[in-house]
Amino acid sequence: MRCSRPTWALLGLGLLASGPTLAADFGELMQKQLESGSNRLFGFTKPLAESATTPSGYARAPGQPATDHILLAKGLRVSYLTRDAADKTDQMVFWPSDAKPTHLITCVEEFERQVIGTFPNGTEKYNPSVQRIRLSDGQVETILRGMAGCDGIRRTPWGTIIATEETSDGQVYELMNPLQLTNLTLTGRGTSELFDPTGANVTDTTSKVVVRDALPKMAWEGLAVTPQGVVIAGDELRPGSYTDTRTGTRDTDGGALFKFIPAVPASGQPVSNLNQSPLAAGSVYALQISCVDNKQQFGQGCEVGQGAWVAVTAANARVDANNAGATGYYRPEDLHDDPGYEGEGVRFCWTNTENASAENYGEVMCGIDRAPLTASSDRTVSVNRFVEGDADFNQPDNLAFQPGTRNVYVIEDNPNGDIWACLPDGADRDIKTDGCVKMLSVVDNTAEPTGFLFSGDGRTAYVSIQHSRDPANGSMDIDDFGTDDVLMITGFKPVRP
């Protein structure tokens, strides 16, 4: 017979031999084998057995060691990259490349577009939205202000940054040369008009920042960007959370997945002006999974299987998707393409956070779009579950693929949130992860881990400890705004699949 790696390991230890051992719980034996084989399977010595609990009176404070903030798997080490990132720092991306980065470019998930102070000349200063963090010394500088709920951020294959808003009418902004932009402010959401710290209007926005209204308006978070400029992303929406225009009720289908197909695909070369970006114009579609194999028969229960893309408008994408019968998921959040996938098209995975208090523990889904540049009635997409949550591992929010391995790290949206390391699917019969272990747990129950990503060699990870409780006297504020800690975790030894 042919066995996946954990099963072979059990055979080697004699745990499947006849005798009294068979009376033990097989699932528990498998879990213990995952934990004891952590170094071989995940590249760190020993996972965490329990989540953190919050000490009485916990709060961030000057002078704390980084080890105060998290519990960490044995064999890993933590230090500060910076303590000066803006409060609610969320997803992050390397610049100018994963292989040789100099900076992290970060989203700040402040939902209120608010005036927080003034520049020296009296010009109003809005909340930070996009920042850069220098990897050599942790220096933080603000690139753009005035977005609402900046959450998803990606570096594009044509050499720009796209930053997205997680609000019901959230939009996408594309930035050129993020190391050369400092303290620009949007004059209003949904426009490409900018002013600089002197209050002067910026005339040439196409060399700096533009809004991408060809992409859908929705609550953005995760997104995959293909080399051709196709964007696949989810709408962070739970079922029943807005009014259905057809019935006037709140009985709606949840967050859909959308695909943007550019009118002019990317050429494979960096752009020199934002007018050359493939995101300037295109068409938007929503994913509709079918319950049968010969036509698009959709409805409740059709969340996995084959599917097709149905046309929607960018400006009214959420309502159009619901009216067209697009498949609704329970708060689809972070989404990434799988860099290790070698098949036809693109494989993408995302988290459905769901609601653990209702014993709806959340999940990670994965889909394959075999024809990313097309959208027709042909069922070119297949979707299935990859990880199912439980009472301990629940409400997944972010995820990250570890370079050099097929392992996936899943980040919870919880008080004392955990990060789990999950194996790829092996040679066993099922199509799910071969197992997960707990790698990190946040000590502060007012905070959550987010923005987790690996360096290009898979040996170092970065994570934001988002919205920790700060000192009441504001002693850790920077630039008229609260701050978060961004941690650097080292000691990973990538295990080749």
* CATH classification at residue 162: 2.120.10.30
Residue 330 maps to a domain: yes
Residues 285, 290, 296: CA angle, nearest 5 degrees: 75
Residue 220 maps to a domain: yes
Can you give the residue range of the structural domain that contains 263?
41-238+252-268+278-488
Q: Using CA atoms, how far apart are residues 105 and 103, in angstroms rounded to an integer?
A: 6
Residue 84 maps to a domain: yes
Q: Using CA atoms, how far apart are residues 309 and 255, in angstroms rounded to an integer?
A: 15
Tell me if the pTM is above 0.85. Answer: yes
Residue 405 maps to a domain: yes
* 160 band by pLDDT with thresholds 50, 70 and 90: very high
Residue 13 maps to a domain: no
Average pLDDT of 1-20? 45
Task: Indicate whether 8 pLDDT > 50.
Answer: no
Which residue would you say has higher pLDDT here, 254 or 7? 254
Residue 210 maps to a domain: yes
Q: Which amino acid is at 326?
A: A
Q: Give residue for tokens 């319950």.
A: 291
**pLDDT of 263-282, one tens digit each?**
999 999 999 999 999 999 99
Residue 33 maps to a domain: no
- Taken as a whole, the chain contains a residue count of 497
Average pLDDT, the chain: 91
Q: 352 forms bridges with which residues in the sheet?
A: 332, 363
**pLDDT of 379-415, one tens digit each?**
899 999 999 999 999 999 999 999 999 999 999 999 8
Specify the pLDDT at position 17: 46
Question: How many domains is the chain partitioned into structurally?
Answer: 1
β 140-145/332-337 pair status: unpaired
Specify the pLDDT at position 243: 64
* 157 band by pLDDT with thresholds 50, 70 and 90: very high
Task: Indicate whether 10 pLDDT > 70.
Answer: no
Residue 243 maps to a domain: no
